[in-house]
């Protein structure tokens, strides 16, 4: 071996050691590897930052923004809400959740699909009186399997497509992954239905500040408008349709407040005083197209152009709000904020928001320009509570993100525009049309992942540029020459699956894909099957909570321990290998 090849392999071993050590986060490890490559001279200074200009960085970042817009729309939650009433048993509920997150991951990046459905898992677990851990790990594994079905489902597919384009001149297209991914997803879902009991039943998440806060008994005011599903519905039917997740404390009709009977028919123009938890109120108001109190009030001149948001706060004992109502205080006219919900411990509020006299200790939800809210809270003598996500009072555009995503996928599937252009345009469109606030878009982007990709791409390229990937591929080929083609393919799949927990799935593909392509060439095979095996192996880390963000995402909420993943994940990994190899060879003959 030449000195550059030795240095490249040593850099790879050093990088894997840092990932395994865990002392530094994966993006910092990538930066260290890039600096080491520059110091050794195997990464040229002019190529050091080319990774940040690579299409893959744009595609992954844009996909995360689109995922956040789809998640915010609530459309998938609404669809799930129509199905879950028919799923009474534990296994039926698990099937609904895993299938929804699995097939959702084909359209939205898998971590986005998982994040948007985790609240539904908590609701079903509470309703069924089981631990959320029974749902969360199977959902995470289903999201990994579902992400295998399309180009944008998971980062490894995007990277493998790029490597194929460099080798053959043609990338994998949007649905080239579908036959293999769909087969493995269906098998995996069946396995999860049978084997979910391998997860310890006593796992519970550690209590959080949100649990300690436990502010759930809010009341808010919403108007029934023309076109709402609630028009013509009785109060009984309205409550039953929403599974009594909210209450109607009182009803305002023609300026007269009444306590409605169950047989009272709702009309357009009625104002409902709704009670319940913030997420339930938000879901009912958004799903039934109700108009939240104050949502049409004008924004103060000095805050025009600022993003409107909401915040929870407690009324202090010396607040000027004490003894006053929002109507008397003229909060909007004087302070530029709206009172959209109130909670009072030990008391059920039935008055309209503008009529409630506030007391010290009341918890309020205020809506207004984010630039003004901190100052207004100080002026009003309110203390912000521990931050937790509230969408009550934020606008939803249900179908727009789905339509934009569908247009982007169609454009790439038909070859009209490159993937990077289509998804960058889609991300820009959801921002321009207001489907996702700019602040939330920046929060949705996983910057450490993008930094890792940008830093590792030039390091990965050195393996190929110095010929180090050829050396590694030669060693693997020597081992595989005595194996049939299915054994050689299985070797690559298992190698990618084994390395992923230590390198992160995106980093695994950056390292393994060039090796797999050279490996196939050494054995005289076409590279497609081996690249597909790399993508499958890198996308299927079922053994640890660190190889993929989805597994990490559910570890805390599910109360899992490190070893819990292997209990369910080891047999699933074996199933993927045993079924994946013949499936890949059938779809992509060598």
Query: Residue 295: is its pLDDT beyond 70?
Result: no
Instruction: Quote the tokens at residue 574.
Output: 């074996």
| pLDDT for the residue numbered 112 | 66
| pLDDT for the residue numbered 202 | 64
More confident residue, 335 or 76: 335
CA distance 144 to 162: 20
Beta carbons of 113 and 402 less than 8 angstroms apart: no
**Sequence-distant (≥ 6) Cβ neighbours of residue 239 within 8 angstroms:** 246, 247, 248, 262
Residue 185's pLDDT band (boundaries 50, 70, 90)? very high
pLDDT, mean of residues 507-533: 84
Query: Residue 340: is its pLDDT beyond 50?
Result: yes
pLDDT, mean of residues 514-523: 82
Query: Residue 200: is its pLDDT beyond 80?
Result: no
| pLDDT for the residue numbered 209 | 43
Angle at CA 545, nearest 5°, toward 541 and 550?
A: 75
**Sequence-distant (≥ 6) Cβ neighbours of residue 83 within 8 angstroms:** 96, 100
At 454-491, the pLDDT tens digits run 888 888 778 767 877 677 767 777 777 778 889 989 98
Beta carbons of 250 and 422 less than 8 angstroms apart: no
| pLDDT for the residue numbered 394 | 54
Instruction: Quote the tokens at residue 112.
Output: 């986005």
| pLDDT for the residue numbered 210 | 47
Give the helix/strand (H/E) hosting 186: helix 178-195
Beta carbons of 466 and 37 less than 8 angstroms apart: no
Q: Supply φ then ψ for residue 218, to 5 degrees.
A: -80, 155
More confident residue, 126 or 516: 516
| pLDDT for the residue numbered 78 | 65
| pLDDT for the residue numbered 208 | 44
DSSP string, 68-106: HHHHHHTHHHHHHHHHGGG--SHHHHHHHHHHHHHHHHH
Query: Residue 393: is its pLDDT beyond 70?
Result: no
Instruction: Quote the tokens at residue 196.
Output: 């979910």
Query: Residue 207: is its pLDDT beyond 50?
Result: no
At 100-115, the pLDDT tens digits run 899 988 877 777 677 6
pLDDT, mean of residues 540-544: 85
- CA-based diameter of the chain, in Å? 88
Buried b (16+ CB within 10 A) or exposed e, 508-540: bbbbbbbbbbbbbbbbebebbbbbbbbbbbbbb
pLDDT, mean of residues 376-396: 69
pLDDT, mean of residues 342-346: 80
Q: Whole-number mean pLDDT of the chain?
A: 80
| pLDDT for the residue numbered 497 | 87
| pLDDT for the residue numbered 297 | 58
Q: Supply φ then ψ for residue 405, to 5 degrees.
A: -60, -45
- What's the DSSP call for residue 205? P
pLDDT, mean of residues 366-376: 80
At 221-269, the pLDDT tens digits run 888 988 888 899 999 988 888 777 788 888 888 878 888 888 999 999 8
Residue 390's pLDDT band (boundaries 50, 70, 90)? low
More confident residue, 80 or 558: 558
Instruction: Quote the tokens at residue 569.
Output: 């994940």
Q: Are strands 256-258 and 308-315 parallel, antiparallel or unpaired?
A: unpaired
More confident residue, 63 or 87: 63
Nearest CA among 281, 287, 257 for reference residue 270: 257
CA distance 89 to 10: 53
pLDDT, mean of residues 366-390: 77
Q: pTM value?
A: 0.64
Angle at CA 450, nearest 5°, toward 444 and 455?
A: 165
Give the total residue count for the chain: 590
**Neighbour-count burial of 213, counting CB atoms closer than 10 A to its CB (0-12 exposed, 13-18 middle, 19+ buried):** middle
Query: Residue 205: is its pLDDT beyond 60?
Result: no
| pLDDT for the residue numbered 80 | 63
| pLDDT for the residue numbered 419 | 76
Nearest CA among 53, 72, 57, 52 for reference residue 404: 72
| pLDDT for the residue numbered 566 | 86
Beta carbons of 76 and 104 less than 8 angstroms apart: yes
Query: Residue 206: is its pLDDT beyond 80?
Result: no
Give the helix/strand (H/E) hosting 292: strand 291-292
Angle at CA 44, nearest 5°, toward 38 and 47?
A: 110
More confident residue, 432 or 56: 432
């Amino acid at each position: 071996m030449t000195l550059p090849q030795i240095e490249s392999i040593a850099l790879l071993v050093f990088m894997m050691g840092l990932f395994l050590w865990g002392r530094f986060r994966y993006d910092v490890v990538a930066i260290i590897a890039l600096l080491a490559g520059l110091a050794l001279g195997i990464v040229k200074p002019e190529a050091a930052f080319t990774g940040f200009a690579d299409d893959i960085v744009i595609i992954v970042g844009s996909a995360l923004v689109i995922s956040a817009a789809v998640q915010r729309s609530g459309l998938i939650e609404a669809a799930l809400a129509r199905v879950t009433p028919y799923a009474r048993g534990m296994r039926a509920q698990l099937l609904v959740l895993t299938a929804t997150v699995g097939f959702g991951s084909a359209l939205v990046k898998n971590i986005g699909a998982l994040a948007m459905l985790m609240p539904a898992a908590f609701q079903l677990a509470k309703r069924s009186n089981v631990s959320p851990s029974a749902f969360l790990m199977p959902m995470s594994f289903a999201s990994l399997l579902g992400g295998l079905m399309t180009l944008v489902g998971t980062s490894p597919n995007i990277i493998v497509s790029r490597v194929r384009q460099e080798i053959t001149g043609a990338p994998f297209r949007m649905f080239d992954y579908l036959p293999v991914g769909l087969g493995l997803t269906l098998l995996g879902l069946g396995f999860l239905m049978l084997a979910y009991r391998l997860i310890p039943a006593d796992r519970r998440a550690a209590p959080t500040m949100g649990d300690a806060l436990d502010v759930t008994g809010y009341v808010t005011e919403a108007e029934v408008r023309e076109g709402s599903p609630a028009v013509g519905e009785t109060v009984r039917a309205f409550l039953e349709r929403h599974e009594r997740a909210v209450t109607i404390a009182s009803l305002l009709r023609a300026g007269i407040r009444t306590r409605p009977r169950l047989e009272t028919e709702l009309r357009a123009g009625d104002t409902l005083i709704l009670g319940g938890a913030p997420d339930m109120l938000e879901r009912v108001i958004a799903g039934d197209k109700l108009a939240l109190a104050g949502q049409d009030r004008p924004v103060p001149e000095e805050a025009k152009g600022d993003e409107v948001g909401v915040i929870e706060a407690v009324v202090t004992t010396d607040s000027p709000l004490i003894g006053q109502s929002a109507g008397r205080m003229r909060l909007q006219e004087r302070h530029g904020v709206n009172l959209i919900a109130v909670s009072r411990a030990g008391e059920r509020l039935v008055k309209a928001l503008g009529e409630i006299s506030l007391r010290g200790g009341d918890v309020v939800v205020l809506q207004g320009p984010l630039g003004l809210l901190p100052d207004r809270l100080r002026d009003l003598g309110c203390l912000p509570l521990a931050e937790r996500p509230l969408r009550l009072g934020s606008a939803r555009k249900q179908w727009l993100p789905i339509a934009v995503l569908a247009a982007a996928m169609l454009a790439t599937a038909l070859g009209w525009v490159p993937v990077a252009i289509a998804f960058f345009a889609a991300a820009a469109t959801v921002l321009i049309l207001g489907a996702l606030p700019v602040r939330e878009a920046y929060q949705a982007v996983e910057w450490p992942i993008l930094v890792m990709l940008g830093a590792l791409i030039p390091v990965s390229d050195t393996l190929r540029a110095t010929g180090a990937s050829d050396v590694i591929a030669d060693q693997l080929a020597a081992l595989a020459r005595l194996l049939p083609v299915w054994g050689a393919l299985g070797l690559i799949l298992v190698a990618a699956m084994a390395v992923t927990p230590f390198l992160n799935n995106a980093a695994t593909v950056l390292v393994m894909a060039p090796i797999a392509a050279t490996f196939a060439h050494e054995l005289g095979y076409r590279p497609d099957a081996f690249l597909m095996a790399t993508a499958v192996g890198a996308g299927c880390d079922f053994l640890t909570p660190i190889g993929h963000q989805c597994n990490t995402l559910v570890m805390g909420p599910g109360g899992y321990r490190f070893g819990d993943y292997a209990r369910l994940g080891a047999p699933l990994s074996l199933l993927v290998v045993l079924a994946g190899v013949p499936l890949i060879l059938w779809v992509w003959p060598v």
